[in-house]
Amino acid sequence: MSLLTIALLVGFLVSTVLLVVYLLYLFKWSKSGIKNPVNLKNSGQSFMAIFFSKWFKVFLVFTLALISIFCLSMFIVEMTK
């Protein structure tokens, strides 16, 4: 195995583990501290902070999934050469 295939395999494994841990955090561990929905009039947080916080989570999940799929597909291509 060349250095490139090892790097792709490590990238796939690391991104997959990070994706699984982050999804577990989002769906399991963060549910234990659920509060009532945020009231924007009485809250110190602005709408923009809440909006970008949610979209950052989506962006992070999408990016990790994309990296994982890319590394796996390139690893398969390199192994079949």
Instruction: Report, as an integer, the average pLDDT of 24-39.
Output: 66
Res 4 pLDDT > 90? yes
Res 64 pLDDT > 80? yes
Instruction: Report, as an integer, the average pLDDT of 12-37.
Output: 81
Two tokens, residue 27:
């769906």
Please, which residues have CB within 8 angstroms of residue 58's CB and are 6 or more apart in sequence? none
Where does residue 7 rank: exposed (0-12), middle (13-18), buried (19+ CB within 10 A)?
A: middle
For residue range 12-22, list pLDDT tens digits in order.
999 999 999 99
What global pTM score does this model have?
0.73
pLDDT for 32: 59
